[in-house]
Structure 1
Amino acid sequence: MASSAELSVAVVAGEVSGDLLAGRLLGGLRAQLPGARFHGIGGPNMARHGFVSDWPLERLTVRGLFEIIPRYRDIKGIQNQLREQLLAERPAVFIGADYPGFNLGLEMQLKAAGIPTVHYIGPQIWAWRGGRIKKIIKAVSHMLVIFPFEEEIYRRAGVPVTYVGHPLAEMIPLQPDEAAARRQLGLPEDANVVTLMPGSRMGELKHNVAAFVGAAKLLRQRDHSLRFVAPMAGEKQRQYFLELVAQAGLRDVEIMLTDGQSHTAIAAADAVLVASGTASLEVALFKKPMVIAYKMMRASWEIMRHMGYQPWIGLPNILAREFLVPELLQNAASPEALAEAMWRQLSDVPGRLRLVQRFTDMHHSLLRDSAQESAAAVMQVIAASSTRL
């Protein structure tokens, strides 16, 4: 293998969650390749390890099937430019951090040209679009997966695979400190706290905020002592949240908005109303009761609701293989239904204790040194490629 100073490693993360995953991996990889050039497309977590983003992460971030249409030309142009750049550069490895719609197509072309490719994390072919395994076989030299059951799926398909654990399981303590989180937010330690997490993307906020805040209003009518907290991903999201609340006529609902601090807001909560996605897994790792809800553009929903293979969409329920917590989707996610489901989560003390144990077991199953495990797998791919040269 060439010295690390002569190597380049290309990485693409298209969303905040991918930046988190890739940041962990690059942290482990930097120790192995101290002089290597890390570049591609990524965010602040990756930048902490000397990564240089050739395009802003925000140029790729989009949600939904139809929402991508007006952005397609720009995103496709970036993909084409990056492909030509990497074919000329020939990095030691290309790592696609999630974002399969963009990365798998790029990986297929790079792998065909002899550039080894690693995909981190495995696309959820167990949930929908299982036919993508054919493309994955052509595109991916090595797959890194974050859920234990995924390893066998890719192994059966003939795709080299390593289970590396979920980075969130390392970041979140096994026994979160609720009292400390409340002190940090300036909340009384004996307060009744509900955290609202309608999403970090603008599209998620557009479709979820009115229902989430409407549910908060109904809950406050049941229990005037309830405190509501909503972490904001940035100033743009904060302003849009407030705009949507005003449009819905819900300005009278008192909600503490925090700048980031999503983990603190979850740790402080008695229960969480959360949009489906990685955030629901974070709530589970904090051992909190929750209601999972999600709304999206109607056209996207009509297509996607027929494409799933499983009865669950929330990661805690998928991992448990049962409805551990309620899921209310699209039209079912009305303020009234969300408030009723949240009230049951707040009131069911024995159920809350059972959830703590189930979520603790789930936490242990996902706990690995993901930075070291993923970096070791990438180093094996680089070594195998250099041996063949």
Structure 2
Amino acid sequence: MTSGRPLRIGVVAGEPSGDVLAAGMIAELKRQHPNAVIEGIGGDNMIAAGCDSLFDMETLSVMGLVEVVAHLPAILKVKNALVAHFRKNPPDIFVGVDAPDFNLRVEAELKKLGIKTVHYVSPTIWAWREKRIHKIARATNCVLGLFPFEADVYQKYNVPYRYVGHTLADAIPLHPDKEGAREALSLPEDATVIAVLPGSRNSEIKSLLPVFTETMAEVSRQKPDCTFVIPAANKYRYDDITAYLSENLPDSLASTQVKVVRGNARNAMIASDVILLASGTATLEAMLCKSPMVAAYKLSGLTYKIMQYLYKAPFFTLPNLLAGEKIIPELLQDEVNPQTLSKQLLHYLNSDNQPLIDRFCSLHETLKQNADKQSAAAILDLIDA
């Protein structure tokens, strides 16, 4: 494969969800090739799996068409330094995990240097800006996709694509242990638990945590026995969340009702009776944890107007996209207010949610493809090709 020398693999993830995906793939690559040198940009999960992170992943964790502009100089500095590093130390293959605005640019430059490239997680070309497929084709040798409905657009343009499923679907049991999750978080077995996930980016915390906090207070007024668990994606978000709550906790919400934890998002989701969360990969994990959820998102005014014009998919949350119909509430912009959110949460708390959970189980089974082994195999196949 590499004339007896260790494999060299470049990997870049730009946010916590990509960090999780890449970590499973890296662990499988390391299992097959223990001496492989894997380096790039990643978070705690990738580092633990054996990746040497050359830069802080937080630099890349920016969301929104407009919001990224302020961070552009720092992002470009990282991109240029990363490309220079790989020019000097060429990997056998480079894998960009999600973060397409950053990774496709890196992939395109490395591919011109003769380095094979893979993009892991299809950009949402099935939802908006389909013509990006041409940029993807120029930048990558293959796209690894998470969802079965993505394949059609790649086949349409004859771009190499491989459906590998989702690592979370392999990691999370079809029937999660709710009692065990509550015990892990020191939550009473009979408590009414609501998990609150305001996002993994600083911008999401700023836009969603205030309204989520007011929503918690509104729910608590009607159900005083509720316990709210807020899992922070990393140390940055933990500091953001605790700092905000220390100054802004409503009078109607006792501090003993709110538990902020570092990590443990999956246990919080499994332990919950219902989840309030920022739309994104977390909605997929919530579905796999078999928890009813209310998904919300707020964009800057300009980004929202642009997306209204460009976005063509009927839904924006992954459970609804996978189901092909609206099975969970998804709220945007002005709909994201304490009254609407609390009404939806209370509806779940007062309902039999078994039919929804059964639907989640069915969707879970379609995504269970042994993704870590599939993605590692695709990468090794391409190195050998």
TM-score bracket for this pair, using the shorter chain length: over 0.9
User: Following the alignment from structure 2 to structure 1, what is the Cα–Cα distance between the partners of residues 362 and 379?
Assistant: 29
Question: CA, structure 1 residues 241+89, in 2 after alignment: closer, same or farther (shift >3 Å)?
Answer: closer
Alignment of 1:296 with 2:299, yes or no, is: yes
The aligned counterpart of 1:197 is 197
Cα deviation for residue 3 of structure 1 reads 3.8
User: Following the alignment from structure 2 to structure 1, what is the Cα–Cα distance between the partners of residues 374 and 19?
Assistant: 17
| Alignment-mate amino acid for residue 127 of structure 2 | A
Native 8 Å contact 1:165 1:368 kept in 2: yes
Cα deviation for residue 6 of structure 1 reads 4.2
Question: Which runs of structure 2 are paired with 1:218-233 in the superposition (5 Å)?
Answer: 218-233=218-233
Mind listing any 5+ residue stretches in structure 1 that lack a counterpart? 385-389
The secondary structure found in structure 2 opposite 1:35 is coil
| Alignment-mate amino acid for residue 286 of structure 2 | V
Native 8 Å contact 1:207 1:297 kept in 2: no
- Out of 336, 341, 349, the residue aligned to residue 338 of structure 1 is 341
The aligned counterpart of 2:327 is 324
TM-score by length of 2: 0.94
Native 8 Å contact 1:166 1:367 kept in 2: yes
User: Following the alignment from structure 2 to structure 1, what is the Cα–Cα distance between the partners of residues 383 and 66?
Assistant: 37
Cα deviation for residue 153 of structure 1 reads 2.2
The secondary structure found in structure 1 opposite 2:54 is strand
The aligned counterpart of 2:9 is 9
The aligned counterpart of 2:23 is 23
Cα deviation for residue 104 of structure 1 reads 0.7
The aligned counterpart of 2:142 is 142
Alignment of 1:277 with 2:280, yes or no, is: yes
Cα deviation for residue 88 of structure 1 reads 3.5
Mind listing any 5+ residue stretches in structure 2 that lack a counterpart? none
The aligned counterpart of 1:380 is 381
User: Following the alignment from structure 1 to structure 2, what is the Cα–Cα distance between the partners of residues 235 and 379?
Assistant: 34
What is the aligned-residue identity percentage?
39
The secondary structure found in structure 1 opposite 2:25 is helix
The secondary structure found in structure 2 opposite 1:2 is coil
The secondary structure found in structure 2 opposite 1:5 is coil
Native 8 Å contact 1:4 1:35 kept in 2: no
Cα deviation for residue 67 of structure 1 reads 2.1
TM-score by length of 1: 0.93
Cα deviation for residue 246 of structure 1 reads 5.6
| CA offset digits 1:327-358 (Å, max 9, x no partner) | 11111111001011111122121xx1111110
Native 8 Å contact 1:95 1:117 kept in 2: yes
Question: CA, structure 1 residues 347+26, in 2 after alignment: closer, same or farther (shift >3 Å)?
Answer: same
The aligned counterpart of 2:317 is 314
User: Following the alignment from structure 2 to structure 1, what is the Cα–Cα distance between the partners of residues 326 and 238?
Assistant: 32
User: Following the alignment from structure 1 to structure 2, what is the Cα–Cα distance between the partners of residues 294 and 286?
Assistant: 21
Native 8 Å contact 2:92 2:116 kept in 1: yes
User: Following the alignment from structure 2 to structure 1, what is the Cα–Cα distance between the partners of residues 26 and 322?
Assistant: 27
User: Following the alignment from structure 1 to structure 2, what is the Cα–Cα distance between the partners of residues 12 and 326?
Assistant: 32
Question: CA, structure 1 residues 380+259, in 2 after alignment: closer, same or farther (shift >3 Å)?
Answer: same
The secondary structure found in structure 2 opposite 1:130 is coil
The aligned counterpart of 1:77 is 77
User: Following the alignment from structure 1 to structure 2, what is the Cα–Cα distance between the partners of residues 112 and 31?
Assistant: 30
Question: Which runs of structure 2 are paired with 1:57-206 in the superposition (5 Å)?
Answer: 57-206=57-206
User: Following the alignment from structure 2 to structure 1, what is the Cα–Cα distance between the partners of residues 138 and 236?
Assistant: 39
Cα deviation for residue 255 of structure 1 reads 1.2
The secondary structure found in structure 1 opposite 2:76 is helix
Question: CA, structure 1 residues 333+159, in 2 after alignment: closer, same or farther (shift >3 Å)?
Answer: same
User: Following the alignment from structure 2 to structure 1, what is the Cα–Cα distance between the partners of residues 95 and 235?
Assistant: 30
Question: Which runs of structure 2 are paired with 1:354-373 in the superposition (5 Å)?
Answer: 354-373=355-374
| CA offset digits 1:149-185 (Å, max 9, x no partner) | 2123212221111111101111211111111212222
Cα deviation for residue 4 of structure 1 reads 5.4
| CA offset digits 1:237-276 (Å, max 9, x no partner) | 2342244346656254231212221111111111111110
Cα deviation for residue 320 of structure 1 reads 0.6
The aligned counterpart of 1:267 is 270
Native 8 Å contact 1:166 1:368 kept in 2: yes
User: Following the alignment from structure 2 to structure 1, what is the Cα–Cα distance between the partners of residues 121 and 337?
Assistant: 33
| Alignment-mate amino acid for residue 8 of structure 2 | S
Q: In the comparison of the two structures, how many residue pairs are matched? A: 382
Tell me which stretches of 4 or more aligned residues in structure 1 moved more than 6 Å.
none
Q: Quote the RMSD (CA, aligned, Å).
A: 1.7
| Alignment-mate amino acid for residue 274 of structure 1 | L
Question: CA, structure 1 residues 131+369, in 2 after alignment: closer, same or farther (shift >3 Å)?
Answer: same
